[in-house]
Amino acid sequence: MNLGDFKMKKSIIVIILVSILLNLLPVKAYADGGPEISSEAAILMNMNTGDILYQKNADEKLSPASTTKILTAMIVIEKCKLDDVVTVGKIPLYEDGSNIALNVGEKLTVKDLLYAMMLESANDAASALAEHISGSKENFSKLMNEKAKSLGCKASNFVNPNGLYDDNHYTTASDLAIITKKAMENEVFRKIVSTVTYEIPPTNKQPKPRKLYNRNKLLSYPGYKYDGITGVKNGYTEKSKNSLVASASRGSMNLISVILKAEHSSVYKDSKALLDYGFNNFQCEKVLSMDTAICNLNVGNINIPIYPTKDFYITSSKNDKSVVYKKLVFEDDIKKINKDMNIGYVEITTKYGGKEIIPLTPQKEYSSVLYTLKYMGHSTYKKVLSPAVKALIIIAVSFLVLAITLLILSYYKKCRKRKQA
């Protein structure tokens, strides 16, 4: 699209582009019907967009059990280096539930403890990591709540790093999906939660290696394995019942499912039903690409490609046609165009009211001379490059060439006369 010549005033320039796209789904809306879920709470999210494809009691406060460790792992990865050495204190010895039998004074890397926590759901590993970072589980819990709040979680409170039951330790399916979406953006986290087996080498307190197995049955267990599964974490306590956060990818579609307070026989069944529902009924489409110009600005007869600063996806339903509106807005007071500057933004609005604002950039620098001419006024610029001026320049150059030619010929004639003389 060529925007032609424009003036960058205080009043912004708005161009409305209407793109007809198939099957747009709004945020927090889902197709009629949906899967039958017996668990107390559930949610299905498009990981690329954050769109909610299905929800059941998604805002009910429930105990997350060991899915708590998703948040714990995210904080640990942000705060520590994988090869940092952790010296186990006394607290992990008294942890209930799953553990890898850590010893007081045992030295392990952060990496080994992360794998123990996320694969074997080791509560002692979670506590050792929390103590290493914050000095105590209580102080680490403050970090957890701060992080959850910063991500937009609205109904969560964490009092320990492992998910052992406590009346004051709770979250919602919606908040847990938000936490997981952020965690899955990290490559280290993704690698850990997709690992089936891992071995911790011998330590100063343990002469034999520890073999770890991922308890998320969707990854590898016969009869449970799910096509496209990429993680994440299961959990269980007697009071919390079963919980499972799962992620799966097929093509460009990346999903997160959350199941809370499920009976043992239904937690995997419900997770599969959610993921199947997502893959069978929806697809993910890229509306904007960082590598594709959204338009060209014509400044002084020079076309400048303008790009979005990030890729943008939408969730599409197979049974619905919708409209996406792209509104391009360009700011004033642009003296020079640099490759990283925000020259304006694109505002994407869906038929259902969803909205996203994405900055625009030229991705390269352009000559300052061009913009000096432009800001002298377009009429001046046109005058400089007018046909009459071009003709005068051509004539002047022609005369110059002719004069030089005549001088050269005159010089050769004089040289010949001297030789003849």
**Contact at 8 Å (CB) between 257 and 225?**
no
Residue whose token pair is 């003709």: 391
Amino acid 129 reads: L
> Is 121 assigned a catalytic role?
yes
**Contact at 8 Å (CB) between 234 and 267?**
yes
> Is 142 assigned a catalytic role?
no
Other C-beta atoms closer than 10 Å to the C-beta of 213 total 14
C-alpha distances in Å from residue 302, one per residue of 171, 238, 298: 55, 69, 5
The span from the CA of 88 to the CA of 109, in Å, is: 10
284 CB-contact burial (10 Å; exposed 0-12 / middle 13-18 / buried 19+): buried
Give SS3 for 411. helix
> Is 194 assigned a catalytic role?
no
Sign of CA dihedral 91, 92, 93, 96: positive
Q: Which of 63, 98, 121, 141 is catalytic?
A: 121
The span from the CA of 107 to the CA of 81, in Å, is: 15
Residue whose token pair is 């799910």: 226
Q: Which of 56, 63, 69, 317 is catalytic?
A: 69
Q: Which of 66, 127, 243, 317 is catalytic?
A: 66
Active site residues: 66, 69, 121
